[in-house]
Chain A
Amino acid sequence: MSEYLYYPGCSMDSSGRSYRDSLEAVTAPLGITLREIDDWNCCGATEYLGLSRLPAYALIARNLALAEQARNGTNTLVAPCSACFLNLSKTNHAMAEDAAFGAQVNDALAAGDLHYDPDSLRIRHLLDVVVREVGLETVRSRVTRPLRGLKLAPYLGCMVPRPDYDGRWSDPEHPSELDRLLAALGAEVVDYPLKTECCGGHMTQIGPSTAFSMIRRLVDAAERAGADMMVTICPMCQMNIDAFQGEMNAHFHTSHRMPIVFFTQVMGLAFGMAPEAVGFGRELVDARPALARISDEPVPEAEPARVRRPGRPKGPALPMPQMPEAGEVTR
């Protein structure tokens, strides 16, 4: 059992309930223990940074200080939410990079009798821990019900792979970690080029038409890729694409129905857990009908499609330039 410090974030108790339920269900099979930081506070999402800089960082740093105090054999702090992960990582980085700024943040923290030493914690997203610490071999060994025949679109959203302060991800735009995890569960992973495009974030609240365009693009691309559902690692992405899909459809007069669930949910499913036990059914666009596609039969290896090579054109070809023969005079 590896133990990690754990910062759940506010949405795990509300809109991200199915994330929490499924995460709690898969920690034991994955062999990890998550120790929640006592009395943590909201990270301010993207809202506080837009209002004022130092208070925003101080709000986040309070959690880092509490986590640092709670270190007991582990200095890895895990966050399942993208915005929380980014904010914790961003604050650690800003304090470490600019000592004067770090001192200012600590000056503020001192008013609450707290202190944080930059870089004393390693801040990681849950997916990173599952893929790199637990490892795909362990994940594969826990699969009792492979998700054969289920076509999944891996969707990470923007804030985990970018800006990637600690250089953990394989690529800032097309990282492969989630694809490899879903493949380890036996699912068919569709090629989803928009995997790190933004879901609109808070634009559903402050600029709905902008958000709807972004949601439509993501859902439409997942449909075109042939996905049965999208799989995400972010509560905000799940909320926007799931809960606002209806309003988006009304806005564009479309009829998309693309379910989106958390990666921990499909992991639980592949580990043999009942769909409802890992939060299926809480989504507004019901993902359960698509689960019928999971086949107990091994999928036969598809024969590679024969590539038709274009034959030589019949009849006279277009005149092509030719090298002059030896001795031929050219001007």
Chain B
Amino acid sequence: MVLAESTNHAIADPGRVFLEEVIARTGPSCRLDMCIQCGTCGGSCPSADDMDHTPRTLFAMIRAGMREQVLRSNTPWMCVSCYLCTVRCPQDVRITDVMYTLKNMAVASHAYPDSTAPDFSRAFIRNVETFGRSFEVGLTAQHYLRHYLTRLPSMAPMGISMLRSGRMGLTPPRRIRGMRGLKRILARAKALEAAS
């Protein structure tokens, strides 16, 4: 009887559930369950100063089942994908990939309150889904008008220099020929991901 109860308790453990969900979404080789809380990740991170929680803390929070607090944290959004923590982790936890998963989950559940970073990603991908290529000027203009209106005056000289040096074009890129095929591929990928 006691044994059955403790088994039930283990299944209901919210930390275990959340941890396993993050691992399943990242891929089994991410080894997040092997974290020993040594803190090498946070100590190596170039943007840790600006994070709500260090990566180590965030991983402890995942184990504690603090789903809402984890997905509200700015930590994954401050990750610059430099992989320094990943190569230094003594347990070979694929930390950068875990951060991507946490971003995916925060976007899907609309948990992260600051829309600056998700909006930038969405605007970037909208261009890719329209042209098959990125469109720097369109992206920058759209993003700055929405989130950094006050930054525009200080950015203007740089924009003009970029145009003058031929490093920025005002016209969108030419659409790739296989755009219809690419759209079908992405639609199928989204459907498969939604089903899994």
Contacts and interface: CB of A to CB of B under 8 A. Distances in A.
Interface of A: 10-11, 13-18, 39-42, 44-55, 57-59, 62, 94, 97-98, 101, 104-105, 107-114, 158-159, 162-164, 172-173, 196-198, 200-203, 205-210, 213-214, 243-244, 246-247, 250, 281-284
Contacts, number: 211
Interface stretch (B4-12, B23-31, B65-73): B23-31
Contacts of B104: 50-53
A58 B80 contact: no
A14 B136 contact: yes
A97 B173 contact: no
28 contacts: A13-B173, A15-B136, A15-B162, A39-B176, A41-B128, A41-B178, A47-B120, A47-B121, A48-B121, A50-B103, A50-B121, A51-B103, A54-B192, A58-B186, A59-B185, A62-B185, A97-B29, A108-B186, A198-B84, A201-B80, A201-B81, A203-B80, A206-B116, A209-B50, A214-B80, A247-B155, A281-B165, A284-B158
Determine the main DSSP class of B at the interface with A: helix
B167 A108 contact: no
A110 to B, nearest CB: 8
B125 interface: yes
Interface in B68-90: 76-78, 80-84, 86-87
A158 B140 contact: no
A42 B167 contact: no
A49 B104 CA distance: 8
B129 to A, nearest CB: 9
Given A51-B103, A203-B80, 16 more contacts: A11-B136, A39-B177, A47-B124, A48-B125, A53-B100, A55-B186, A62-B185, A97-B29, A107-B192, A112-B182, A112-B184, A163-B86, A164-B87, A206-B117, A209-B50, A214-B47
Interface of B: 25, 27-29, 46-47, 49-50, 76-78, 80-84, 86-87, 96, 100-101, 103-104, 107-108, 116-118, 120-122, 124-125, 127-128, 132-134, 136, 140, 143, 148, 151, 154-155, 157-158, 161-162, 165-169, 173, 176-178, 181-182, 184-190, 192-193, 196
Q: Most A CB atoms within 10 A — which of B28, B81, B140, B169? A: B81
Nearest to B157: A246
B134 A42 contact: yes
